[in-house]
Amino acid sequence: MVYVHIPFCKGFCIYCDFYSERCPDAPALRRFGAELCAEARRRSDEIAESAAVSTLYFGGGTPSLLPLPLLEEIVAAVGGGPWEEFTVEVNPEDIVTRGAGYVAALRALGVNRVSMGIQSLSDEILRWMDRRHDAERARQAFRLLREGGLENLSVDVIFGVPGLSLQTLQATVEELLTWCPAHLSCYQLSIEEGSALAEQLRQGLCAEAPEEDCRAQYDWLCERLAAAGYRHYEISNWALPGRESRHNSAYWKRVPYVGLGPGAHSLRILPDGRQVRSWNSEQLSGWTSESETLSAEEIREESLMLGLRTAEGLPDGRRIPERDWFIADSIIAGLL
């Protein structure tokens, strides 16, 4: 189970606080790729240890900005394929710009799942978010992926946005349902320190959406997606039966994984039972890794927090009913 962090974007969304850099020139990209491949080869034993879950996930940033030859080099350096689930996150604009040939190349590389950040089909909301694509480009991108033979498609939606009405959210989701994606991730907008949105709030340029509006939107999503046949298997994730993300589901079960690239995290369980969390520094080249051995209390709290976010809950049967998932974080905090 391997995660590869590609920290490049052409622009930065208003809400994002993830580590990312503007996509560099070709020489800098090649240097980044060489460093990433070197890390993969250096950690080949860890990758082999994590192979019980056969998934590879390219996240970002925007992995669809990578030149195909560089993507191929990184996949070869990671090794271990073919993967049961190989996911690449993409921006709709990149799919449309690069066309059917790019989709075919992804499939030839072994990619069998694509996660696309649509966020909304309202052009007004997309402009407010500083997204690169518009609604029509999202439609075109989804068609290209589907026509290119990729069936396991996931789309992201954001709710709880200032100025987003329930009716606008409903229009987005109703159209998405006509596309029949295998998976939907629906996230409530959060205000993260370091984001452009947090700065706008400090300056009084916008206000958070009222909690009652966010609750109404989440409740409607739960009801509508269930009626459409999607299984609500984690607080923010719905899937058609059998299309749950194997990779993300393993995170929630605390399965060991390897994170490659700047800003990536890893979890390793040593032969003596100790559990070690490691993380890479956030820089484009020459990144270093730090680690810590988790205490029994840290493992317990993490297991509770992750397990109670899922439909399965904990092995002892404890779970949070779906109707309470909107306030799950506070409920979980009370159980710790």
Domain ranges of the chain: 2-251, 295-336
Residues whose CB is less than 8 angstroms from the CB of residue 76 and which lie 6 or more positions away in sequence, other chains included: 37
Residues whose CB is less than 8 angstroms from the CB of residue 46 and which lie 6 or more positions away in sequence, other chains included: 258, 266, 268
Residues whose CB is less than 8 angstroms from the CB of residue 86 and which lie 6 or more positions away in sequence, other chains included: 55, 56, 57, 109, 110, 111, 112, 113
Which of left, alpha, beta for 11 (phi over 0: left; psi -120 to 50: alpha)?
beta
DSSP conformation letters of 259-318: EESTT-EEEEE-TTS-EEEEEE-S-SSS--EEEEEPPHHHHHHHHHHHHTTBSS--TTS-
pLDDT at 81: 80
Against a cut of 0.85, is the pTM above it? yes
Residues whose CB is less than 8 angstroms from the CB of residue 37 and which lie 6 or more positions away in sequence, other chains included: 73, 74, 76, 77
In angstroms, rounded to a whole number, what is the distance separating the alpha carbons of residues 13 and 219?
26
Which residue carries 């340029």 as its tokens?
Answer: 205
Dump pLDDT digits (tens) for 213-264. Answer: 999 999 999 999 999 999 999 999 999 999 999 999 999 999 999 999 999 9
On the question of pLDDT at 54 being above 80, the answer is yes
In angstroms, rounded to a whole number, what is the distance separating the alpha carbons of residues 87 and 245?
9
SS3 (DSSP) at 71 = helix
pLDDT at 55: 98
Confidence of residue 19 (pLDDT cuts 50, 70, 90): confident
In angstroms, rounded to a whole number, what is the distance separating the alpha carbons of residues 249 and 222?
19
On the question of pLDDT at 198 being above 90, the answer is no
pLDDT at 14: 85
Q: Distance between the two ends of the chain, CA-based, in angstroms?
A: 28
On the question of pLDDT at 88 being above 80, the answer is yes
On the question of pLDDT at 330 being above 90, the answer is no
Confidence of residue 186 (pLDDT cuts 50, 70, 90): very high
In the chain, what are the helix, strand and coil shares in percent, each to the nearest 5?
A: 45, 20, 35
DSSP H or E segment with residue 99: helix 92-109
Dump pLDDT digits (tens) for 258-302. Answer: 999 999 999 999 999 999 999 999 988 789 999 999 999 999 999
The CA-based angle 102-103-105, given to 5 degrees, is 65
- Nearest one of 197, 87, 92 to 134, comparing CA atoms: 92
pLDDT at 333: 78
Residues whose CB is less than 8 angstroms from the CB of residue 122 and which lie 6 or more positions away in sequence, other chains included: 135, 164, 168, 171, 172
Confidence of residue 98 (pLDDT cuts 50, 70, 90): very high
Q: Which CATH superfamily is domain 2-251 in?
A: tm_1862 like domain (3.80.30.20)
